[in-house]
Amino acid sequence: MRDFFGGLLRPRVEALGLEIGTSNLKLVELSGNPPSLRGLAIRPTPPGAIQEGSIVEPGALANELREMLGELRTRKRYVVTAASNLSVITRTLQVPKMPLKQMDEAVRWEAERYIPFPIDEVVLDYSLLDSHETIPDGEQMDVVVGAARQETVASLVETLKAAGLEPVVIDVKPFAGLRTLGGRLKGTDREPITLFLEIGAESSALVLTRGERLLLNRIINLSGKDFTAAISKAFNLDPVAAEDAKKNYGLATIPTEDEDLLLDFDAERERFNPARMYDAIRPVLVELTTELRRSLEFFRVQVGDLGVDQGFVAGGGSKLRSLVPLLADTLGIPLEIADPWQGIQVDKSKFDLDYLRGLSAEFAVPIGLALRGVSPLD
């Protein structure tokens, strides 16, 4: 699947993978083919540096990125990153088959009908979902378009340059996460329908593919912050304390008696008992599952009653205890946490494999970006 906004800048050498999130910054260095892990770093995003997908404190963000580069001890300065889900619009359009040289203008003209900004104020890129050679002349071709405000892209590029980094590709987060699935998107006898759900700190993204062909990409304005806000309100906690309570005691279901014992609730934290915690976040769970069902129903209306064969969940918000089994049961889809380390060579003498596995959900996107940084050049 093509990387958006790569038309401006093309990779020349191996590049780092960087995810800039509202909650955390994640940097990954891969090298070689097959790719091997050279280093990774994760740090909290400076408070208030990013709001609603936009960088509002570029200086603080650049300083943190410089420190991460020092921690990684890498000389690489080229980077593949991604725009915030909240700042990118993706649409699947149809245009008549025409010479590729004319496609840019045709796609831009068609996209103008669907983008809620003046077309001359956006950075736009696209990818053909159909093979140009196989579509008869005069027939319609499916094209997926990605667009972001010029000022948003410029702010991101300027911040990276201030940190001493040179951006070569700006990707779309869920599409980067898909890259880590590799061969699992392909089937032996047919192309499977795959669901990829990224639950981030500020937004979530649901992607459906048939094989490697994009079928649906939808951004959902529900995420890890909504669980934190619900806990904050129910237990009268500040955001930092609520986030800590979510990580240590958050539950998407009421546990059984045996599971309750494993949680090891101490007397001082008795107020975070399973029933109260579940009651606090249940409204968010209901809203999230409702939005996911609506998206899947829209998909079925558009393409027919095709069943989803497999599903993968990523993002820090997916680590809420019991959330993935709950979603699998509610949606009737087999779901598992995405494993971005598959296909990555890891030196066991340098990295703790258990530690890396514990970071699987959070690192699907940055590893996908790093894979783009070592993939064959366009």
Q: Which of 269-283, 286-300, 353-367 has the lowest mean pLDDT?
A: 269-283
- Whether the predicted pLDDT of 41 surpasses 60: yes
Q: How far apart are CA 195 and CA 296, in angstroms?
A: 10
Structure tokens at 326: 């709950």
Number of H helices, E strands in the chain: 11, 15
Q: How far apart are CA 128 and CA 85, in angstroms?
A: 21
Determine if the pTM surpasses 0.75: yes
Region(s) of the chain under CATH 3.30.1490.300: 88-148
* Cis amide prior to 167 (ω within 30 degrees): no
Mean pLDDT of 137-143: 86
Which top CATH class is 1-87+150-180+339-378?
alpha beta
Nearest-5° Cα angle at 270, 264 to 272: 90
Do residues 331 and 292 make contact, with C-beta atoms less than 8 angstroms apart?
Answer: yes
Q: How confident is the model at residue 3 (pLDDT cuts 50, 70, 90)?
A: low
Q: Which of 147-156, 267-276, 279-288, 322-331 has the lowest mean pLDDT?
A: 267-276
Which top CATH class is 88-148?
alpha beta
Tell me: the pLDDT tens digits for 316-358? Answer: 999 999 999 999 999 999 999 999 999 899 999 999 999 999 9
DSSP states of 349-378 as a string?
TTS-HHHHHHTTTTTHHHHHHHHHHHSPP-
Helix (H) or strand (E) holding 253: none
Do residues 212 and 194 make contact, with C-beta atoms less than 8 angstroms apart?
Answer: no
Do residues 17 and 367 make contact, with C-beta atoms less than 8 angstroms apart?
Answer: yes
Tell me: the pLDDT tens digits for 178-189? Answer: 999 988 888 777
Amino acid found at 88:
V
Q: How far apart are CA 133 and CA 98, in angstroms?
A: 11
Region(s) of the chain under CATH 3.30.420.40: 1-87+150-180+339-378, 185-337
Q: Which of 90-99, 229-238, 281-290, 357-366 has the lowest mean pLDDT?
A: 90-99
Q: How confident is the model at residue 136 (pLDDT cuts 50, 70, 90)?
A: confident
185-337 in CATH: which number?
A: 3.30.420.40
Query: Using alpha carbons only, how large is the chain's radius of gyration in Å?
Result: 21
Q: How far is residue 95 from each of residues 107, 134, 304, measured CA to CA in Å?
A: 7, 15, 22
DSSP states of 149-211 as a string?
EHHHHHHHHHHHHHTT-EEEEEEEHHHHHHHTTGGGG--SSSPPEEEEEEE-SS-EEEEEEET
